[in-house]
């Protein structure tokens, strides 16, 4: 289904001449992802999935774990694509423009300014296509069962991420960050390729199933001649090199140094995708790799590299985050800290730790997604506001694609939109692990598994890092609630100064009106500091199909409060936020999923 969608998008993008069709492509992809999710859910009823089904000559294994995470990735990607499939703002009706008028008449106003239709993200027709490419690589990596398919899957995913990071052609910062991502990602691919080559050289096979069998032979003491036909420590050395490449791509410390720069440089809507999908597939692949290579050869295990990376991630992510004043760089270090928790749960490799590992990945992906959607929504909500301090504007790099870059930009935002501010605060509390949010239970499960398995030192480090990390999360909350914002309602400028030249000229194209003079007054900004009296002028035609003159139009005054965030954004934020805060009322479904997946893995 994904590959069919991929080819259809390729042909469609090649044949279309209108770049404004991107929003329609996004909606088609969303509908396709929903259908694919139902197909994947339907496949989970197969009893054979308990132990897995090998397909394509053993290159891939379809298991309950792979199917579950494929569905999860599809759902996350669907929510992210909503950001491109619907315009961020809409114009609500007032008492003059009622249901009857909307059915028989036509409202005339400049849609480009209000709905932000001229934004670059709505003119890139290749965006949904590249996302499908990345999703193909992610789903293949989750199900991979061969060293060849491992490398092809991770590269298919990575190349799509490189392209989508540089897809904003008018942004020099995005291009530079994408180039950095590409060069360092290529270096990580070299480690993956080297580790795969060493594994093949030592074992004589590229099948991960065969490699798992070889590593498990070490538990049998009667096989005294095992070391005569392969060198045991070579396998673990090869797995260490392979793991370094994947840790590099997942931005785990000490291979994290590219992550803050790339997160901060690429557009926020791209960061939303890169920060989630790129990591989920890698961690699911790690899950089976660690489990089936658990047995130590000569008291040496390659998973020590994961414990070391977990320790560095916990320390670096929490300490360096304290010095950040750019919000996406802070979120990058926050991600590094959470990766420390994920790797700690993975390294323990018990039933309890695998349950906490799967649960942590699920809840953190959802919370991280909500954070970036809220940042984008805050940027869209500043449509009728302007910063008073010019120096604040000078610190912004590429503000068109990433309007919210500094923590102080959200100062006093609670007094502008309290609902969005509360949603962001709840998400940050989940990051901190404050009860009763879902993040508290995730951290509790990881720490409990660590203490039960004797990892007391790492558990203490994890607790301390959570306390230190709470400082910069609370700092964001302080800016949200305990300061007055420094925005004034509107800059008193004329229409020509308010909009770009192409948007101003497009008024004539938008309106099917004989008298051209109406274009100069279609949307006016009045010099009034009273927020409730800032008016936008529209016109109501009595007939949708007949061109009219100025004299036949009824003028309608819209207040600033009539321009609101679209339902796609507000609904997504509401659902995810309620999921984070009300988890305590619906824990059974979550715990049942992670328990079943863990038991299936250990049973197999």
Q: Please, what sign has the CA dihedral across residues 201, 205, 207, 212? A: negative
Cα 270 from Cα 278, distance rounded (Å): 12
Read off the pLDDT of residues 449-477 as tens digits, 9 standing for 90 and up: 999 988 999 999 999 999 999 999 999 99
Read off the pLDDT of residues 190-233 as tens digits, 9 standing for 90 and up: 999 999 999 898 888 888 888 887 777 655 555 545 554 556 67
| Domain range summary for the chain, segments of one domain joined by + | 88-118+493-565, 304-488+568-604
Structure confidence at residue 543 (pLDDT): 57
Structure confidence at residue 569 (pLDDT): 92
- Average confidence (pLDDT) over 42-67: 81
- Between 530 and 257, residue with greater pLDDT: 257
Give the pLDDT band (50/70/90) at residue 438. Answer: very high
Give the pLDDT band (50/70/90) at residue 604. Answer: low
- Between 495 and 355, residue with greater pLDDT: 355
Cα 144 from Cα 237, distance rounded (Å): 21
Taking the complete model, does pTM exceed 0.75, yes or no?
A: yes
Structure confidence at residue 329 (pLDDT): 93
Q: Could you tell me the two tokens for 266?
A: 């690429």
The rounded mean pLDDT for the chain is 81
Give the pLDDT band (50/70/90) at residue 528. Answer: very low
Tell me the CA distances in angstroms from 91 to 113, 567, 573, 580, one per residue in order: 11, 11, 20, 30
Residue carrying structure tokens 């899957």: 153
Structure confidence at residue 577 (pLDDT): 95
Contact call for residues 225 and 286 (beta carbons, < 8 A): no
């Amino acid at each position: 289904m994904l590959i069919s969608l991929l080819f259809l998008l390729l042909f469609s993008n090649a044949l279309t001449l209108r770049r404004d069709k991107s929003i329609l492509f996004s909606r088609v992809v969303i509908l396709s992802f929903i259908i694919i999710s139902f197909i994947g859910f339907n496949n989970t009823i197969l009893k054979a999935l308990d132990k897995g089904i090998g397909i394509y000559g053993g290159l891939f294994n379809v298991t309950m774990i792979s199917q579950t995470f494929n569905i999860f990735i599809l759902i996350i990607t669907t929510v992210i694509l909503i950001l491109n499939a619907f315009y961020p703002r809409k114009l609500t009706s007032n008492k003059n423009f009622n249901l009857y008028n909307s059915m028989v008449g036509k409202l005339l106003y400049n849609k480009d300014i209000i709905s932000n239709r001229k934004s670059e993200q709505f003119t890139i027709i290749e965006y949904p296509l590249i996302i499908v490419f990345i999703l193909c690589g992610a789903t293949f990596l989750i199900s991979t069962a061969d060293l060849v398919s491992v490398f092809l899957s991770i590269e298919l995913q990575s190349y799509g991420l490189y392209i989508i990071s540089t897809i904003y052609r008018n942004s020099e910062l995005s291009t530079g960050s994408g180039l950095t991502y590409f060069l360092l990602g290529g270096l990580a691919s070299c480690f993956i390729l080297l580790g795969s080559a060493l594994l093949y050289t030592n074992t004589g096979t590229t099948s991960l199933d065969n490699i798992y069998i070889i590593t498990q032979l070490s538990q049998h003491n009667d096989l005294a001649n095992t070391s005569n036909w392969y060198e045991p420590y070579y396998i673990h050395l090869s797995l260490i090199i392979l793991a370094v490449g994947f840790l590099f791509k997942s931005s785990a410390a000490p291979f994290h140094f590219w992550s803050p720069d790339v997160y901060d440089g690429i557009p926020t809507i791209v960061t939303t995708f890169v920060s989630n999908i790129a990591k989920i597939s890698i961690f699911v692949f790690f899950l089976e790799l660690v489990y089936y290579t658990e047995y130590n050869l000569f008291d040496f295990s390659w998973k020590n590299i994961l414990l070391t990376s977990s320790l560095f991630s916990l320390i670096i992510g929490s300490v360096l985050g304290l010095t950040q004043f750019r919000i996406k760089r802070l979120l990058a270090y926050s991600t590094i800290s959470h990766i420390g928790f994920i790797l700690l749960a993975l390294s323990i490799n018990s039933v309890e730790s695998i349950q906490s590992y799967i649960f942590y990945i699920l809840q953190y992906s959802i919370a991280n997604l909500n954070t970036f959607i809220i940042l984008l929504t805050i940027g869209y909500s500043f449509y009728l506001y302007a910063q008073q301090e010019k120096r604040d504007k000078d610190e912004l790099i590429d503000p068109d694609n990433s309007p919210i870059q500094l923590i102080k930009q959200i100062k006093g935002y609670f007094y502008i939109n309290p609902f969005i501010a509360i949603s962001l605060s709840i998400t940050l509390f989940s990051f901190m692990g404050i009860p009763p949010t879902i993040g508290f239970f995730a951290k509790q499960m990881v720490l409990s598994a660590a203490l039960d398995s004797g990892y007391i030192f790492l558990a203490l480090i994890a607790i301390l890092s959570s306390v230190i990390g709470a400082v910069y999360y609370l700092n964001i909350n302080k800016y949200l609630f305990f300061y007055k914002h420094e925005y004034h309602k509107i800059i008193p400028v004329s229409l020509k100064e308010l909009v770009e030249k192409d948007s101003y000229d497009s008024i004539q194209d938008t309106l099917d009106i004989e008298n051209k003079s109406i274009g100069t007054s279609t949307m006016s900004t009045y010099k009034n500091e009273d927020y409730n009296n800032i008016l936008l002028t529209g016109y109501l035609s009595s007939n949708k199909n007949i061109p009219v003159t100025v004299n036949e139009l009824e003028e309608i005054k819209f207040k600033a409060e009539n321009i609101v965030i679209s339902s796609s954004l507000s609904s997504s934020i509401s659902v995810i936020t309620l999921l984070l805060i009300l988890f305590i009322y619906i824990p059974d479904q979550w715990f049942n999923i992670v328990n079943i997946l863990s038991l299936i893995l250990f049973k197999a």
